[in-house]
Amino acid sequence: MNKSTERPLKRKANTDNGSDTRRQKPSPSRPSSHRSTSTSSKTASTFSNVKKKTSPTTTTKKIPFWDAKGKMNELQSKLEETGKEVSEFEKLKDDLQTTVHDQETILKEAFQKVTDLETTINSTKERHSSELNSIRQKFNVQNQELVQQNAKYSEKMSHLDQEYEAYQTRYEEIIQVLEEEKGENMTLKATVSKISAAYSDVDADLRTLRMKLESTGSILEQRENEIKRFTDELLEQDTLSKEIERQLIEEETTRRKLHNTIQELKGNIRVFCRVRPLVGNENNMADIRVFGEDSEHMELREQVSSTLGRTSTKTYTFSFDRVFAPECNQSDCFEEISQLVQSALDGYNVCIFAYGQTGSGKTFTMQGPPQPNEETIGMIPRAVHQIYKVTQQLKQFGWEYTMEGQFLEIYNESINDLLGEPSDYSKVKHEIHHDKSGRTTVTGMKTVILDSPSKVKMMLKRASQNRATGATNINERSSRSHSVFTLQLTGENKKTGERSSGLLNLIDLAGSERLSMSGSVGDRLKETQAINKSLSSLGDVIQSLVNKKEGSHVPYRNSKLTWLLRNSLGGNCKTLMFVNVSPLVEHFNETLCSLRFATKVNSCHVGTAKRSIGK
């Protein structure tokens, strides 16, 4: 019974939920809802009455446990009451089922009405939507047509505005021009009146000008004759200028020949002697006298004591091409050798070397001091400066020169490149070669193009840093090697087609010294022995040249120095030796040795130097 009672209630709850869900939509039938409401109220009142009847009586008398009959009666009465309640509940159930059935019927009707309304709304919506879309399409087409027409109209209006502005501008210009022409017309009228008045004056001036023109014509004719005469003179001057240029070239050639003749008359091997001045705290100067018309003689005097204790003066006299006293400066020395530098430019091989004992000023003469000025710069930079100056002057004769420089040293019978790296001295082996033309070359040497005097300065500085020097008892900074600066001069004359090739060797020999005087030990001793050996070989070569007979042998190969100077002493070369001597009394014997050696060199006679020139 309980299950049958609960089932209609659940259905009612579901029905109420369904009705609540659909209650948002409007319901067209109001009478059905009223009927369901009255039925529900009736059922509720019936349920409340049953509940009141079935509630227990609070005044029931309690029956003792031993009264079985009373209990039976009580149970019988309760059974009857319960039967009544059951019948009432069944009646209530039937009423509830009837109510639920009525409500389901009402809901079905409501659902059907809602479905019909939705169908009607959807059909109406679809019909109106299709009409609305067609209206929208028509509107869009008409709108596009209106936009296109509006654009065309706007474009046409812009063109019309532009034309209007152009016409307006043109109209204003025409008005302005018209006003200007009116003003000009008035001005022209005034001008015409003035011109008419001035015409008579101009006519008179014209007659005067015609008269002047006739006189000017004769003057112009005279000017033309003068111009013609001046042109003829210019042609003559041009011809004369060419002739002068040709004569200058011939005179330059003649100058070269005469210059070479003078140098040959002076001797292709010459010896200059230079006595250095006292320096520092030196004051014990020997008795040295320079004399002669060209300062070509010198005399040395020495006080000697005999075995008897008598003192006498011993005199030594020498003659050279030129002797420079201590007061002579670098410029005086270079003035004499500058002619040989010119010979190198003319295409001859020239060798200038300095010989003398340690501390006699050889390096000062050839290179100058470490920080030179215009008065103290040496023969090498002066020679290069002269070459630059002369090459600039020779450009007017068509000569163009290129200069290439090399710098080497002979140290302990080994050749080192002073322009290279000292670390490569033991790795690179240099060899000396002499060709048939009399040119001497050394293999593996670095060559520098000397296109400016500053490069010569840098080259001399690098060579001075790399050159081997050391301290001895005679000189605290003695050159321990022979240095050779070689300048190759190549010239070309574009006007005459001539080419020349000259070579200038500037050599600074290491100082000659006796072992007893130098106090050299260790490496210094080995260096001194190598220097003295090479200088002794040089003396043997000079002696052989002095006593040379046809077919006799000259020992050039005894040392690297003599082999390098082979073409300078006995070949096709102009040679000048600077013998440098010290003025001090303690160096008197070394000075005599140097002067005697220089006398041997001065007595040498070599062949005539030949110029290296071609077309």
Show binding-site residues for ATP. Answer: 356-363
SS3 401: strand
Scored b (16 or more CB within 10 A) or e, 12-47 reads beebeeebeeeeeeeeeeeebeeebeebeeebeeee
Asked if 532 contacts 512 with a C-beta cutoff of 8 angstroms, the reply is yes
- Beta carbons of 564 and 556 less than 8 angstroms apart: no
Binding-site positions: 356-363
Q: Which two tokens stand for residue 25?
A: 């939509």
- 440's CB contacts (< 8 A; 6+ apart) are 432, 433, 434, 503, 505, 564, 566, 567, 568
3-class SS at 507?
strand
Long-range contacts of 438-443 (CB under 8 A, 24+ apart): 438/349, 438/567, 438/571, 438/572, 438/573, 438/610, 439/349, 439/503, 439/567, 439/612, 440/503, 440/505, 440/564, 440/566, 440/567, 440/568, 442/406, 442/408, 442/415, 442/564
Checking phi first, is residue 105 left (phi over 0); if not, alpha (psi -120 to 50) or beta?
Answer: alpha
CA distances from 492 to 257, 402, 438, 610 (A): 18, 9, 20, 18
Helix (H) or strand (E) holding 488: strand 482-493
In whole angstroms, what separates CA 170 from the centre of its chain? Answer: 61
Name, in order, each residue with C-beta under 8 angstroms of 70's C-beta and a sequence gap of 6 or more.
Answer: 63, 64
The Cα–Cα gap between 302 and 314 comes to 5
Instruction: Determine the Cα–Cα distance for residues 383 and 387; give it in Å rounded to an integer.
Output: 6
Alpha-carbon separation of residue 242 from 211, 233, 246, 331 (angstroms): 47, 14, 6, 38
Nearest Cα residue to 276 out of 590, 580, 596: 580
Look up residue 128 and give its two tokens. 């109106």
> Of 501, 467, 511, which is closest to residue 485 (Cα–Cα)?
467
